[in-house]
Structure 1
């Protein structure tokens, strides 16, 4: 069985379309797992959510940006750790189509499966078990650690699975010990060049293997949309999350 893993689309519909088009050309891929932060940063919120929710072959979970935007929409406390992006989240919330609100709210924080006798665990990022049901305003996600096998073994010590897939930290992570593969395919929508990363995971009785993929796409219209739509802090966002790319 082959599955695709994507994460951190961040409102970048151009990148998402490019990846989904490539996945759809690979008939051997039977399912897609999307590991949170579909919205926030990029402005194409409704297009991204429509692309994902309209498919029958996608399982999704929520990330910190998704939940923070929902907290704004419901008039709930906004996470103090995200105060610097509250105005941005309010901008996203005002433009999100109402039909997506309940759909986002219904998404889980974790997905656990056994596939061909192998245990898999998906989450946006690590949470201590005591925080799994905490509101996003309580900052339930653990502090980001630098990518290394030792750091991830320590971070996910509670989760004894053969594959742990996650996102949140935008660089690619791919580490393995004698029991677990730790996999973050990298942010699909926030890159410093017009390349959208994702992963293909093959799960067979004999084991689990990972292929890291990147799809090239034209991101000029996407980058221009920040200015054209007057996204709050758009100049900073392009510097910080897109490497200051010019169009």
Structure 2
């Protein structure tokens, strides 16, 4: 029989986007397992709300992202490999992370390899080197460049995130999919992916963009003013908060 599963990645502390996607996934009764590909926390500030939502679900498998790794390193007294305002941001996230989630996060692996409907599938946040460390970001990946990384592996499908854009490449050997950042967009849309592997081995990929109300989330970032919040609002959300703040200022007069 075939099998269908969902991929979510780069939630980045955005609980409103996550709620919308989880509700959308639950409406599809054919989806069994959900694979969460890391960077659940940081950038957005709703760390504990996001983790509460994720860890309360029974059908989610997790891999660790670079933001989880950096924040955990700070908590555990290890080098975080972040610098400047990013380091200050991670320290703020670490300080506000509920201690109840630390052990659960620390036990998340960096990759999962499993067989689904006869296909060998690799789930990871981003490509890893021989020392199990994340490779530098390739801002312009191609099928051939990805194939160089995985040419000596026997996996049929590689699912990853990290790069905040959608990728869907195929080679003669395998397929590559990044469904895009669930929690970071210049529009009130939350992307995720579904993959259906049919009885005869055919692989069908579908990217969905779920609309949601991001106004309260954006205003909360502006009001909380945590380290790097201005960069976060501009780079990751396209300053969508500006008309919201201006409207509030007019209404308060």
Between the aligned partners of 1:151 and 1:217, the Cα distance in structure 2 is 35
Between the aligned partners of 1:157 and 1:193, the Cα distance in structure 2 is 36
Between the aligned partners of 2:113 and 2:13, the Cα distance in structure 1 is 26
TM-superposed deviation, 1:180? 0.8
SS of the equivalent of 2:208 reads strand
1:92 and 2:93 aligned: yes
1:64 and 2:57 aligned: no
Deviations 1:118-145 (CA, angstroms, capped at 9, x unpaired): 110011101112x11xxxxxxx210111
SS of the equivalent of 1:108 reads coil
The structure-2 alpha-carbon separation of the partners of 1:203 and 1:243, relative to structure 1 and needing over 3 Å to count, comes to: same
Deviations 1:18-50 (CA, angstroms, capped at 9, x unpaired): 000000111111110000000010000000001
Between the aligned partners of 1:25 and 1:44, the Cα distance in structure 2 is 25
Between the aligned partners of 1:21 and 1:123, the Cα distance in structure 2 is 24
Instruction: Identify which of 136, 141, 146 aligns with 1:152.
Output: 146
TM-score (norm. length: structure 2)? 0.91
After the TM superposition, which residues 11-22 of structure 1 pair with which residues of structure 2 at under 5 Å, given as runs? 11-22=13-24
SS of the equivalent of 2:196 reads strand
TM-superposed deviation, 1:230? 1.7
TM-superposed deviation, 1:68? 0.3
TM-superposed deviation, 1:229? 1.5
Structure 1 consecutive aligned stretches of length 4 or more whose deviation exceeds 6 Å: none
Between the aligned partners of 1:180 and 1:174, the Cα distance in structure 2 is 11
Deviations 1:194-219 (CA, angstroms, capped at 9, x unpaired): 10000010022322211111100000
TM-superposed deviation, 1:16? 0.3
Q: Which has the larger radius of gyration?
A: 2
CA contact (8 A) 1:10 1:189 kept: yes
TM-score (norm. length: structure 1)? 0.93
Residue 191 of structure 1 is matched in structure 2 by 185
Residue 231 of structure 1 is matched in structure 2 by 226
The structure-2 alpha-carbon separation of the partners of 1:159 and 1:36, relative to structure 1 and needing over 3 Å to count, comes to: farther
Between the aligned partners of 1:141 and 1:71, the Cα distance in structure 2 is 15
CA contact (8 A) 2:69 2:80 kept: no
Between the aligned partners of 1:227 and 1:20, the Cα distance in structure 2 is 26
Deviations 1:163-207 (CA, angstroms, capped at 9, x unpaired): 100001010000111221100000100111110000010022322
1:210 and 2:205 aligned: yes
Between the aligned partners of 2:11 and 2:150, the Cα distance in structure 1 is 23
After the TM superposition, which residues 1-247 of structure 1 pair with which residues of structure 2 at under 5 Å, given as runs? 1-80=3-82, 82-129=83-130, 131-132=131-132, 140-145=133-138, 146-206=140-200, 207-246=202-241, 247=244
Between the aligned partners of 1:227 and 1:67, the Cα distance in structure 2 is 26
Q: How many residues align?
A: 238
SS of the equivalent of 2:158 reads strand
RMSD, aligned CA: 1.2
Question: Gapped runs of 5+ residues in structure 1?
Answer: 133-139
SS of the equivalent of 2:128 reads coil
TM-superposed deviation, 1:11? 0.3
